[in-house]
Amino acid sequence: MKRILTYGTFDLLHWGHINLLKRARAQGDYLVVGASTDEFNTAKGARRPSYHQFEVRKTMLEAVRYVDLVIPEESWEQKIEDIRRFHIDTVVMGDNWKGSERFEHLRSFCDVVFLPRTPGFSTSQIRRDLLVD
Ligand code: C2G
């Protein structure tokens, strides 16, 4: 069984997120998603709190057919432990993270795959669009 791991905030879940989760799951047989906690979002330098709090974002992710398990992402440092704990073969992220030391160093522990982002979809754009209605 090939086990995949990805991370993100996944706020206002949209097609860009689903398309990432779908392609990540297709890389193996089991997908673990590390959903950023509200506190970690602040630590990540988010300009504003997510629209949905962690528990709502976690529940929405658990309803996605491609997702097998959702865990809290509470720090940058937890990834190696997550890889070990869940016997991960591949970490998959959107390619806006390509080259980031946050992920490139994980290559010592598992494969790391960056997938093209889905153009035209972003949580911040959704928020801006809703402001004009
Ligand atoms: N994504 C995508 N296409 C989009 C939007 C997002 O492929 N149009 C991908 C991102 O590249 C990321 C995942 O969907 O891999 C989740 O996106 P975000 O919720 O924006 O996550 P991010 O803020 O990148 O947090 O430790 C890593 C961080 O938690 C990732």
Q: pLDDT for 30-69, tens place per residue?
A: 999 999 999 999 999 999 999 999 999 999 999 999 999 9
Nearest Cα residue to 109 out of 132, 75, 86:
86
Q: pLDDT for 72-125, tens place per residue?
A: 999 999 999 999 999 999 999 999 999 999 999 999 999 999 999 999 999 999
- Stated pTM of the model: 0.97
Q: Report the atom number in ligand 1 closest to the C-alpha of 121.
A: 8
Contact 121 CB / ligand 1 (< 6 Å): yes
Distance 87 CA to ligand 1 centre (A): 22
- 111 by Cβ neighbours in 10 Å (0-12 / 13-18 / 19+) ranks as middle
Any idea what the Cα angle at residue 74 is, between residues 70 and 130, rounded to 5°?
75
Distance 132 CA to ligand 1 centre (A): 24
